[in-house]
Amino acid sequence: MGFKLTERIKDIMARDQKVMITTTKGDVPFVPHHGDGSSVYDVSGNRFIDFSSFISVYNFGVNANASVRKAVNGQVSRLMHSAFTDFYAEEPVAFAEDLISMFPKGFGRVFFSNSGTEANEAAIKFARKFTSRQYLMGFYNAFHGRTYGSLSLTSSKAVQREGFGPFNSVVHVPYAYCYRCPLSMEYPSCGVACADYINDYPLSKEVSPKEVAALFIEPVQGEGGYIVPPKEFVKKVRKIASDNGILLVSDEVQAGYMRTGKFLALDNFGVEADIYSMAKAVGGGLPMGVTITRRSLGDMPPGAHANTFGGNLVSVAAGHALLRYVKANMGSIEEQVRTKGRIITSRLNELKESCELIGDVRGIGLMIGVEFVKDRRTKEPAGKERDMIIETCFKNGLVLLPAGTSTLRIIPPITISLKDLSEGMDTLEAAIKSVASKM
């Protein structure tokens, strides 16, 4: 392949740096222009295979699929905005009815917004209103968004919070990050002591359980490092919440929507939440956040919560077309996640045997993380090496994203062709070997 850094790419990057507020952009000179399936082309015609799904949005292919694009074009030509929270429209209601069928029995009532952070803001407000309690609990390493409510829960990198306090009343507790156990224990002999910690410390010594409205959990932590907890951990967390009348909120923004092979990532652990939040893939490539609550929790009084663009007709058209595709192809999607996930993890585990740089390979379905370490014994994070691997892959036509301190996320579109998957893995393996050989 061979990436060509053209004057056009350099010019766009320089102009961006002049006028845009800095966000999370790194140094990777990726300026996408068009794409389809697992291929994406930049403004200068460089071709890439996508292993990022553009931050977990294009779960079914770059630029969504033809049915989504057709639905969007049709809706744009009729009516884009219906002021859905003030007036009525059939499309968002029909989408909500269809979405509810993907959730456990007893769900739900749906609130539409425009992003993951807004979906979580709504979940916070609903939980407080439903319980008349004030405090929230969240996990270390969690990422729930960057607006004030969700940022108060976010605890994956200090830089995301530095200078922005004060925050809402949130108590943070350890997540079952077994590769780097926060309690320096070993699974399974630990008996998931990190879950017991919630009862033994914060809920006994810091805040009365009667004052905690909700406990937020990512079933698989995303931004914090693609961390998969043991099933017993999630089950214990569910029990602690239930025993204390605390609502469990499952943030499915990154792990949900078939990424793990199930519509809801929490289903992998055999428990149900009381509120779910979703975004990213749910809008079929357009901005969409969804908060869905257990019906028995009740409703909001009129005027208590609303927005302007929630349920906008174009995002709804995209999201509904994608949901119809998912429902019609459920068996094949589940099978693709299983098969392709297995191909990736077995290749990485095989490489791990000879490559000391790979500390841990983990994931469920097609949500896979590789954590790099400088030394397998000390587990010193190899963050710089991880970044070099991403850069090398990029120059050889493969788009990847980091997570946590030294983890690489591998999240190709579920529909990626086996040819692109194999080619992408060849590129990734070569990059890992090349960076490892320079250490």
Cis peptide before 166 (omega within 30 of 0): yes
DSSP-derived secondary structure letter, 301: P
Q: Are 433 and 84 in contact (CB under 8 A)?
A: no
Residue 118 or 420 having the CB closest to ligand PLP: 118
Smallest distance from ligand PLP to CB 218, Å: 5
* Minimum CB–partner distance for residue 416 and ligand PLP (Å): 21
Query: Cβ distance 148 to 167 under 8 Å?
Result: yes
State the SS3 of 264-283. Answer: CHHHHHCCCCCEEEECHHHH
Closest separation between CB of residue 319 and ligand PLP, Å?
Answer: 14
| Least distance (Å) between residue 52 CB and ligand PLP | 12
Q: How far apart are CA 44 and CA 35, in angstroms?
A: 13
Q: Which is nearer to ligand PLP, 157 or 379 (CB)?
A: 157
DSSP 349: H
Nearest residue (CB) to ligand PLP, 26 versus 191: 26
Q: Which is nearer to ligand PLP, 145 or 341 (CB)?
A: 145
Residue 151 or 207: the one with the smaller Cβ distance to ligand PLP is: 151
Q: How far is it, in rounded angstroms, from Cα 62 to Cα 185?
A: 42
The answer, yes or no, to whether the previous bond of 229 is cis (omega within 30 of 0) is no
What's the closest the beta carbon of residue 222 comes to ligand PLP, in angstroms? 4
Structure tokens at 3: 């990436």
| 53 or 120: CB nearest ligand PLP | 120
Give the residue with the Cβ less far from ligand PLP, 164 or 201.
Answer: 164
| CB contact set of 28 (below 8 Å; sequence gap of 6+) | 390, 391, 394
Residues 6+ apart with CB under 8 A from 291: 110, 111, 113, 119, 120, 122, 123, 126, 275, 276, 277
Spatial separation of the C-alpha atoms in residues 48 and 71, rounded to whole Å:
27
Minimum CB separation from ligand PLP for residue 165, in Å? Answer: 19
Least gap, CB of 22 to ligand PLP (angstroms): 16
Residue nearest to ligand PLP (CB): 116
For residues 212 and 137, the answer to whether their CB atoms sit within 8 Å is: yes
In the complex, minimum distance from the CB of residue 252 to ligand PLP, in angstroms, rounded to a whole number = 8
Binding residues for ligand PLP, rule: CB under 6 A, are 115-117, 120, 143-145, 218, 222-223, 251, 253-254, 279
Amino acid at 28: V
Q: 37 vs 283, which CB is nearer to ligand PLP?
A: 283
d(CA 88, CA 115): 22
| CA 119 to centroid of chain Cα atoms | 13
Tokens standing for residue 243: 């025993």
